[in-house]
Amino acid sequence: MTPVQHLAFLETGMHRTASEAGFSAPEVDYAAVSPMLVIFGAALLAVLVEAFVPRRFRYAVQVPLTLLSLAGAFGAVVWYSTTGDHLQTAGSMVSDPTGGGVSTLEGAVVIDSVSLFLQGTLLLLAFLSVLIMSERNLDSGGSFTPAASAVPGSPGEEQALRAGFCQSEIYPLLLFTVGGMLLFPAAADLLTMFIALEVLSLPLYLMCGLARRRRLLSQEASLKYFLLGAFSSAFFLYGAALLYGYAGTVRLSGIATAITVPTTDAQLGRDWLMLTGIALVAVGLLFKIGAAPFHSWTPDVYQGAPTPVTGFMAAATKVAAFGALLRVLYVAFSGARWDWEPALWGVAILTMVVGSVIAIVQTDVKRMLAYSSIAHAGFLLTGLLAVDVSGLRSVLFYLVAYGFTTIGAFALVTLVRDSGEEGQIGGEATHLSQWAGLGRRSPLLAATFTLFLLSFAGIPLTSGFSGKFAVFAAAVSHGAWVLALIGVLASLVAAFFYVRVIVLMYFSEPTSGGTAVVAPGAATVFAVVVAAAVTVVLGVAPSLLLDLTRDAVFLP
């Protein structure tokens, strides 16, 4: 058992002392939590590899270990969701307590169809990300710094560079963060959720600071993300405390009951406690998805982090955080939906507008994609605000569509490099002007990037269109007219800056030298091909995935 589950178990265990006389061993459904056990186990193993395997073999051990564990965990998810009778089809977004899904670890973790769907998605996204992170054709020694703790530009760093070191800690860090992400949308009480939030965030902060080039920018990103992340975690925790004060429990189902049928003295007439708690918990999660006005970290961090990490973060963090947001809002807070909906409407509108409009003036491709991801968070919120089973399904679909496209797009960003006068390859050429005329020099790269951009823009026959259609349809069918309309307008604005890049790649004269496209290794190629394939397939035949989300339902 891992520390996280331990803490969860102990928390619930202590909880019981208050109500019952003494402890009893908790029930653990090992099959249901097996994906998390695999990942956390592998993460610990990876730490030991770092400790005991000689430096030159570490990369060769870490990459297969990470990929195998991700694949194994995905296999476990598939196996668990295809066997057993725990999944049910229902017409409502929350099944009755006797229905499908498994509540395990004394109710701290719920493995229902939504958890399984998101866990599967996360594992696939992480798998592709690892393939991209393991790329070593672009920079000798990989995309990450050889000595993260050395002062940038110091002799120590220089030495490590020359020795060809590589920091393979990225793999255990990734496994820990994936573990946290798996737990995040499956957490059934606010404390477990908080722990998952921290477990997924802390390694991410570190991963952001590991860029091989532009070390200062990377470290700045890391520190900013850490400070602001800690800040927002505090809000989450404060909200959880207030909700505990109101409901007398941190269990989501208990909070739902307390909101719907307030009974005790602590609940009657103390709505402000509940409402403030809801708002603060929501803020903590909105920070993670990058919704405005809690988005300010996104551009800086996305720009500074190593690009493979940015891709992973943009895709997987959003999936996990939206999973948690969905669960909290739909399971715990749906009784007070009329109270929080207006505020979230405001957030959704602001997010779409800020993301789409500010992206127009960006000159750095990573910053542009960062603002684009903010805008997508807004579109996702639009679907979420249907507060209904169709909202749930559309968001799940959108997350998959967006996740794969994002990973593919950032993977391509790693390939366009500065080049010196003698043709030596430098860091990433992220300034948009350096992308001019790429269509003529690297038609394949430009075409693939165009596909991803078109998908972001929501052009039909790409997954982005199917996703946007799903979320807007969900919003409209529940009367969220204005939201959908603003969403369409915002995507219109967004289409402009996506198309601008396409125009730049195809219809502009290339800048005189200074940019080179580096041929990637097979792993990156494979990841990009998969991402492109998913983008097209989900655009042409979205029913393949929509069928999977059809049974999506939360277990309280």
Partner 1 sequence: MNPYVPILVLTALGAAFAVLSVAGSFLIGPRRHNRAKLDAYECGIEPTPHAVGGGRFPVKYYLVAMLFIVFDIESVFLMPYAVAFGKLGLFALVEMVLFMVTVFVAYAYMWRRGGLDWD
Partner 2 sequence: MTALPSTLVAGTPDAVSLAASGAVQERAWLLVALPLAGAAILLLGGRRLNRWGHWLAVALSWSAFAWGVLLFWSLRGQAPDDRSRSLHLFTWVPAGNFQLDAGLLLDPLSVAFVLMVTFVASLIHVYSVAYMEHDPDRRRFFAYMNLFVASMLLLVLADSYVLLYVGWEGVGLASYLLIGFWNHNPDYAAAAKKAFIANRVGDLGLTIAIMIMFATFGTVTYSGVLSGLDGASEGTLTAIGLMLLLGACGKSAQFPLQSWLGDAMAGPTPVSALIHAATMVTAGVYLVVRSGPIYESAPTAQLLVVIVGAVTLVFGAIVGCAKDDIKKALAASTMSQIGYMMLAAGLGPVGYIFAIFHLLTHGFFKAGMFLGAGSVMHGMNDSVDLRGFGRLNGVMKVTWLTFAAGWLAILGVPPFSGFFSKDKIIETAFATGDGARPWLVGSVALVGAGLTAFYMSRMFFLTFHGRKRWPEDAHPHESPLLMTVPMVILAVGSVALGGFLAFDHTFLNWLEPATGTAHEEDPVLAAIVIQGATLALVAAGIALAWARYWRAEVPATAPAGNPLTVAARNDLYQDQVNEVLLMQSGQYLTRSLVFVDNRGVDGLVRGSAAAVGGLAGRLRRWQTGFVRSYATSMTAGVIAVVLGVVAVRI
Under a CB-based contact definition with an 8 Å cutoff, are residues 72 and 120 in contact? no
Number of other residues whose CB lies within 10 A of the CB of residue 482: 11
Under a CB-based contact definition with an 8 Å cutoff, are residues 40 and 4 in contact? yes
- The Cα–Cα gap between 536 and 463 comes to 6
Q: Which does 25 bind (CB under 5 to 8 A by kind): partner 2, partner 1, none?
A: partner 1
Tokens encoding 531: 């991402």
Tokens encoding 248: 């007398």
Nearer Cβ to partner 1, position 41 or 437?
41
- The Cα–Cα gap between 234 and 139 comes to 39
Query: In the complex, what is the shortest distance from the CB of residue 328 to partner 2, in angstroms, rounded to a whole number?
Result: 14
Query: In the complex, what is the shortest distance from the CB of residue 525 to partner 2, in angstroms, rounded to a whole number?
Result: 17
Under a CB-based contact definition with an 8 Å cutoff, are residues 474 and 380 in contact? no
Judged by CB under 8 A, the chain residues 24 through 53 that form the site for partner 1 are 24-25, 44, 47-48, 50-52
CA neighbours within 13 Å on the CB side: how many for 90? 23
Query: In the complex, what is the shortest distance from the CB of residue 283 to partner 2, in angstroms, rounded to a whole number?
Result: 5
Residue from 6, 56, 441, 550 binding partner 1 (CB under 8 A): 6
Q: Which does 293 bind (CB under 5 to 8 A by kind): partner 2, partner 1, none?
A: partner 2
Nearer Cβ to partner 2, position 170 or 336?
336
Instruction: State the amino acid at position 423 in one-letter form.
Output: G
Backbone phi and psi for residue 111, each to the nearest 5 degrees, phi listed first: -105, 95
Q: Which does 476 bind (CB under 5 to 8 A by kind): partner 1, partner 2, none?
A: partner 2
Region of 8-16, 71-79, 356-364, 532-540 interacting with partner 1 (CB under 8 A): 8-16
Nearer Cβ to partner 2, position 165 or 238?
238
Nearer Cβ to partner 1, position 16 or 440?
16
Alpha-carbon Rg for the chain in angstroms: 23
146-183 burial by CB neighbour count: b if 16+ within 10 A, else e? bbbebeeeeeebeebbeeebbbbbbbbbbbbbbbbbbb
Q: Which does 466 bind (CB under 5 to 8 A by kind): partner 1, partner 2, none?
A: partner 2
Q: Which residue, 412, 204, 405, is CA-closest to 321?
A: 204
CB within 8 Å of 216: residues ≥ 6 apart = 152
User: Where does residue 17 rank: exposed (0-12), middle (13-18), buried (19+ CB within 10 A)?
Assistant: exposed
Nearer Cβ to partner 1, position 144 or 449?
144
Query: In the complex, what is the shortest distance from the CB of residue 257 to partner 1, in angstroms, rounded to a whole number?
Result: 23
Contact between 1 and partner 1 by CB under 8 A: the answer reads: yes
Nearer Cβ to partner 2, position 119 or 466?
466
CA neighbours within 13 Å on the CB side: how many for 124? 18
Q: Which does 48 bind (CB under 5 to 8 A by kind): partner 2, partner 1, none?
A: partner 1
Q: Which does 550 bind (CB under 5 to 8 A by kind): partner 2, partner 1, none?
A: partner 2
Nearer Cβ to partner 2, position 77 or 326?
326
- Maximum Cα interatomic distance, the chain, rounded to a whole number of Å: 78
- The Cα–Cα gap between 205 and 221 comes to 8
Q: Which residue, 272, 281, 221, 282, is CA-closest to 246?
A: 272
Query: In the complex, what is the shortest distance from the CB of residue 10 to partner 2, in angstroms, rounded to a whole number?
Result: 30
Query: In the complex, what is the shortest distance from the CB of residue 398 to partner 2, in angstroms, rounded to a whole number?
Result: 12
Query: In the complex, what is the shortest distance from the CB of residue 6 to partner 1, in angstroms, rounded to a whole number?
Result: 5
Identify the DSSP state of 386: T
Nearer Cβ to partner 2, position 67 or 447?
447
Q: Which does 506 bind (CB under 5 to 8 A by kind): partner 2, partner 1, none?
A: partner 2
Beta strand 416-419 pairing with 515-517: antiparallel
Query: In the complex, what is the shortest distance from the CB of residue 152 to partner 1, in angstroms, rounded to a whole number?
Result: 15
Q: Which does 555 bind (CB under 5 to 8 A by kind): partner 1, partner 2, none?
A: none
Q: Which does 31 bind (CB under 5 to 8 A by kind): partner 2, partner 1, none?
A: none
Binding mask 134-173 for partner 1 (x = CB under 8 A): ---------------x------------------------
- The Cα–Cα gap between 90 and 86 comes to 12
- The total number of residues shown for the chain amounts to 556
Query: In the complex, what is the shortest distance from the CB of residue 293 to partner 2, in angstroms, rounded to a whole number?
Result: 4
Q: Which does 208 bind (CB under 5 to 8 A by kind): partner 2, partner 1, none?
A: none
The size of the interface with partner 1 (CB under 8 A), counted in residues, is: 19
| Residues β-bridged to residue 416 | 517
Give the footprint of partner 1 on this chain (CB under 8 A).
Answer: 1-3, 6, 9-10, 13-14, 22-25, 44, 47-48, 50-52, 149
